Amino acid sequence: MSNEIVMYGPDESLIGQLRDAAPDGVEIQWVDSNQDQEESARALSNTRAIILGGAIDFEVELAAKCPELRLIQTTSAGTDKLDKAALGELGIKVSNNGGGNAVAVAEHTIALMVGVYRKLHLQFQNVQDGKWMGNIRPDWFSQAHELTDKTVGIIGVGRIGSRVAQRLQGWDCNLIYDDIVDPDPELISRLGLTKVDRDELLSTSDLITLHVPLNRQTKGMISDREFELMKPEAVLINACRGPVVDEQAFIRAMESNKIMAAGVDVLEVEPTPENNPLIDMDNVLITPHLAAFTQEAGVKSRAFAMYNSNRVANGEEPESVVLPDD
């Protein structure tokens, strides 16, 4: 039986779903990541493409013992756990999920915006406590806002950021963006986006939403200086990666009311410690890093993983390759 495509992970929980997503005639085997490195190397000796089963690493030392390996494929958007530079020196490329979860994360981003503006987490808490209109603190009403007509600053307009912009068009928002790459001009025009520099975006946006990968350039990109630039009524949304925001600076900003509120799906350390002060702040809505997890996103991500791995198994170049520092 062919072993050119492998799911590498601690258990077989995903193998059935990957097989369901495989093109006709394409086979995939499971190799246990819990076994020792020498056993893994023997099992992967003729493997050309590996699909990582879950948020696990793939050690460069093991990759060096896999002479046929040409692709490490993730079913997530993030690839920061993989040493792409060292793997590249071995002739191994890394690909992410090709935007399989982009719609899910974009929709979750909008949910965070609305949730923060309408304080849905606090409203739900009140219902659980048996409190209704007459018993709710009046300042919660004074801090409730509409998304319509707000200026939304999007940092990163790739697969997810562009879909956030597309969905915000129906909310009659003023959309501005900053990106280190130049997106397709036709896309920018169609989405009604206006390019501004980073400092202008931070200082003029009512809502700032982050959609960048985690790498050396983006780690801590939102810190004390950036919070100082934001308006007191600004809202920060982060559904990309936790370390993109300097968490201690984040805590300081929220404690001192530098900005009005925040909605985040990610934090610097996950699970976050129980004593993290952000958890108990009324002006912070936190979800547990589940923005990408929908049934539809899973189907699309697994289908792309199988498609891309099959390309490499057939001697073709992979798509959605993530370069070092990207």
Mapped onto helix, strand or coil, the DSSP state of residue 294 is coil
The interaxial angle of helices 120-128 and 102-118, nearest 10 deg, is 70
Please name the residue that has the structure tokens 């350039």: 217
Alpha carbons 277 and 68: distance in angstroms, whole number: 48
Active site residues: 241, 270, 289
Q: In which element (H, E) is residue 195 found?
A: strand 193-195
* Contact call for residues 319 and 95 (beta carbons, < 8 A): yes
Contact residues for 216 (Cβ-Cβ < 8 A; gap 6+): 325
Maximal C-alpha separation, the chain? 69
Dihedral (CA of 153, 156, 157, 159) sign: negative
Percent helix, strand and coil across the chain, each rounded to 5? 40, 15, 45
